[in-house]
Structure formats: C-alpha cells, structure tokens
Amino acid sequence: MTSQPAFRRVEPDARRASLIEACARVLAREGAAGASVRAIALEAGVSPGLVGHHFGGVDALIAATYAQVEAQVSAALDAAVAAAGPDPRARLNAYVSASLLPPIADNALLSTWIAFWSLVRARPEIARLHDEQYGRFRAGLEALLAEAGVPSPALRRTAIAATALVDGLWLELCLSPHTFAEGEAAQIAREGLAGLTSTGR
Amino acid sequence: MTSQPAFRRVEPDARRASLIEACARVLAREGAAGASVRAIALEAGVSPGLVGHHFGGVDALIAATYAQVEAQVSAALDAAVAAAGPDPRARLNAYVSASLLPPIADNALLSTWIAFWSLVRARPEIARLHDEQYGRFRAGLEALLAEAGVPSPALRRTAIAATALVDGLWLELCLSPHTFAEGEAAQIAREGLAGLTSTGR
DNA sequence: TCGCTTGCTGAACGATCGTATAACAAGCGC
DNA sequence: GCGCTTGTTATACGATCGTTCAGCAAGCGA
C-alpha cells in the first residue's frame, strides 16, 4: 500500500503564520505560563523544533504574535470608525464601543493581552511593542477627540483618561467576565467618555 | 571555638509573614514567571522545603501574598480618606489620588499586581481573591460617590467607570512608567472623576 | 525517474520546576 | 545539663522547560 506523507512541506511565511495563530490560541486558552514551545507546536500540529527553526526562539514567536494580534485589533477599530460615518461624536463612540464589544472584547483575545502584559517586565522586546501599541491607541483616540472638538490643551490628558477608562473596563471584563456584560461595559464607556469630554471643553 | 547556630527557629506565624514578604519582593522584582519556590526561599534566607512546610505549596503562598498586599493597599486607602477630613468631594479625591500616588503607585507594588493578574486564569483561588478585591475597591468608591451626591441609579455605573479609570491609569503606570509622571496620573484621575460624576447627576 | 534543496522531525541535553521526605538541630521545659 | 518537640535543612525524584542538531524525506526541477 502507498503510505501517505508523514508531514507536509509549507513555505516559510505560511508556516510562520500558522505558528503565530497557534501561539495566540494557546495564550488565550492557558495564559502565558502555558505557552511553552511544546504546547504551541502541538497546537500547530508540528514538531517542537520548528519553532526554533522559524523564529530562533520562543520569545521571538511571542513577540510576533503580539504584533499580529495588535494589528488585527487596530484594523478592527479602524473599520468600526470608518463604518460610523462622518459625525465626529459617532466616530468617537464607535472607536470606544468597538474596543469593548466582540470581536475585540472576545474573552480569548483579552486573555491573550493579559498574557502579553505579564511578559512586559521580563521581555524588553515585548515592552517596546506595548509602548508602540499604547501610543497608537492613544493617538487614534486623540485624533478622534480633536475631531469632536476637544481643545488642544486638554487633548493629551483627555486621551489618556479615555484610554485608561477603556483599558480598565477591558481588564475587568477579562479577569472576571461575570461582573458585567460586554454590552454594559461599552455603554459605561460611552457614558464615561461623554463625561470626560464635557469637562475638557 | 564556639560555632554559631546554622539557622534560627522562628514561630510559625512570624516565619509565614517573612515568606510572604519575600514572595512579594520576588513578584515585584521578577514577575510571576520568576516567583519559584527556590527564588522565594533564597530571598527569605531559608531552604526551599520551608515553603511546602508552612504553606503546603507555592500556590497557597502566592494567594496569601495577594491577600496581604491587598490588605495593605486597602488600609492605605482608608487612611488617606480618613486624613482628608469630612468634605465628601475631598474624601473622594483622596481615595482616587492615593490609588495613583506612592506608596500604592510604587512600581514594585504595581508589578506585583500585574503578576497576580497573570495568575487569575490559571489559579481559581487567585481569581476568587481578585473578585473580592475588586468588589471591595468598587464598594468603597460607591460609598464615597454616594456621599458626594451621585444619585442611586447612576451609582453602580459611575463606580465601575471610576474604578476602570483608576485601574487603567494604574496599569499604564506599571507597564511603561515613562509615559507620564506619578503626579500627572493622579491629576488626570481627579479631572476624569470630576467629569464622570458631573454626567451622573 | 532521479537528485537536490531544504522544510521538518525527533531525540537528547542541561537547567529548573514543585513536591516529598528523612535526617538534623535549635531551644524550651524539666 | 538533658531529653523532646518540632522548625529547618538537604537531598532526591519525576516532570517540564528552551534549545540544539544530525538526519530524514517531501516535492520540485531536470
């Protein structure tokens, strides 16, 4: 009889993408402590050695996963803003609401983010990626706040406060999802944002 | 010559306290990934076996450390409120400001908290402790908001928003301390709180 | 159909993890 | 001063960690 191939050869880029996806799933399911080379390789259906072969080490794989997940989140937020139309306030609300609604508020994704946070202290590369991500999120919020009429002097602080509000709700939504529903978190964020911006101008 | 004792016998309660303090220091310095039995025992100046002897396992030690750190934070917040005098708004501001100022905003303490968060998914006991801690913090905020005149229907959501605001600032202060100064975070929180409460009534 | 490139495997390595346990000794009570 | 309680140490165990690497084999090109 003809034996089927023991494994399939895949071009490097596709294999790397496959490993990144598997890493994201493991991080979401088991947290940072469970994201071992062997667990990720098992999830991807390959041998442990492939991680070292394509990424050099598990740290680089996790960093790449961070970058990819963040790109997806960023794209989803941009899409939500674009779909909200031209009204500045509507665009602002869309940005904040989308951050706390599926698919971004998906529990697995939030767990993945927590895992990244827990690695910030130990991995300088992850810390650098976090700074970039936080800066991007706040810059996006600043731009929308400026559109909505928040005056320039208060812009930075209002954006920081709004970012913190969203992050805090996001965090609690992940740590204990039963405290409040996803929809409630988004509503609280919108109401809070109204309060924050009414003070600033 | 007379050889000095190889170790000192300490009563269980004192030794447990010593191990908890060592655990907190290790968590602050190296994060959750570095909080191994051996690292904690080395920090405390004892042998690794003592952790098992006094706590049964490392999980119980970490949970006990969480409980103790949280008690210290809670006590510091209560003291800040008490020192603020009778004015409701001043008491509210004191509660929020104290959360983002030393010694609570101490970087080591915030790192400790991040380590706890990273353990919430894997350790049900830690998750339970987090729920209790979050509930206590929000309840304290709700009481102060009620004093300050926030009407009952908006109380819950205002408290959730304010808690999220503080947690988000706290988080960013820990992940990248260079983003803003400690004093700035507290100021942003006070301004944001004013906005949140002005909307609610 | 055959050879060659190279993606891939799987075993092995040393380090470190949490835990269990037998032996030791500090220091109190007598 | 001496025995006893028990806090403490030191070691050993099995599991799992990240990484390495020699060799296999998939599948394209000739």
Alpha carbon distances (Å) from A26 to A54, A63, A175, B64, B170: 18, 14, 17, 28, 27
- pLDDT at position A200: 42
Contact A176 B34 (CB under 8 A): no
According to CATH, the topology of domain B66-200 is: Tetracycline Repressor; domain 2 (1.10.357)
Q: What is the pLDDT of residues A29-51, one digit of tens each?
A: 988 889 999 999 999 999 999 99
Reduced to 3 states, what is the DSSP secondary structure of residue B122? Answer: coil
Cα B77 to Cα B56: distance, rounded to the nearest angstrom: 32
- Among A74-78, A175-179, B55-59, B183-187, the minimum mean pLDDT is found in A175-179
- pLDDT at position B57: 93
DSSP H helices in A37-151: 37-44, 49-55, 58-83, 88-99, 107-120, 124-147
Reduced to 3 states, what is the DSSP secondary structure of residue B115? Answer: helix
Cα A19 to Cα A48: distance, rounded to the nearest angstrom: 11
Report which of A15, A18, A23, A22 is spatially closest to residue A126, judged by C-alpha positions.
A23
DSSP H helices in B4-106: 12-30, 37-44, 49-55, 58-83, 88-99
- pLDDT at position B117: 82
Contact indicator for A110, A117 with CB cutoff of 8 Å: no
**Residue A109 pLDDT > 70, yes or no?**
yes
Decide which of A119 and B10 is more confident: B10
Who among A122, A192, A200 is closest to B196 (CB)? A192
- What value does the mean pLDDT take over residues B59-86? 94
- What value does the mean pLDDT take over residues B69-87? 94
* Host H or E run for residue B139: helix B124-147
Cα A197 to Cα A141: distance, rounded to the nearest angstrom: 12
Angle between helices A182-200 and B152-175 (to 10 degrees): 80
Q: What is the pLDDT of residues B34-60, one digit of tens each?
A: 999 999 999 999 999 999 999 999 999
Q: What is the pLDDT of residues B122-180, one digit of tens each?
A: 788 888 999 999 999 999 999 999 999 999 999 999 999 999 999 999 989 888 888 88
**Residue A186 pLDDT > 50, yes or no?**
yes
Give the start-to-end residue ranges of the domains of chain A.
66-200
Percentage of residues in chain B with pLDDT exceeding 70?
96
Contact B175 A122 (CB under 8 A): no
Report the b/e string of B22-31 with b at 16+ CB within 10 A.
Answer: bbbbbbbebb
Decide which of A198 and A179 is more confident: A179
Cα B158 to Cα B138: distance, rounded to the nearest angstrom: 10
- What value does the mean pLDDT take over residues A104-111? 77
Reduced to 3 states, what is the DSSP secondary structure of residue B189? Answer: helix
Contact indicator for B183, B101 with CB cutoff of 8 Å: yes
Q: Which residue of A has its CA nearest to B176?
A: A131
Both ends of chain A: CA-CA distance in Å?
Answer: 78
Who among A31, A118, A157 is closest to B114 (CB)? A118
| Cis peptide bond prior to A103, omega within 30° of 0 | yes
Determine the distance between B53 (CA) and C22 (C1') in angstroms: 14
Res. A108 pLDDT band, cuts 50 70 90: confident
- What value does the mean pLDDT take over residues A177-190? 88
| Cβ pairs A/B, distance under 8 A | 164
Decide which of A104 and A75 is more confident: A75
- pLDDT at position A32: 87
Contact indicator for A149, A88 with CB cutoff of 8 Å: yes
- Residues of A within 8 A of B187 (CB-CB) are 157
Report which of A52, A188, A78 is spatially closest to residue B159, judged by C-alpha positions.
A188
- pLDDT at position B89: 93
Percentage of residues in chain A with pLDDT exceeding 70?
97
- Among A91-105, A131-145, B119-133, B159-173, the minimum mean pLDDT is found in B119-133
Res. A3 pLDDT band, cuts 50 70 90: low
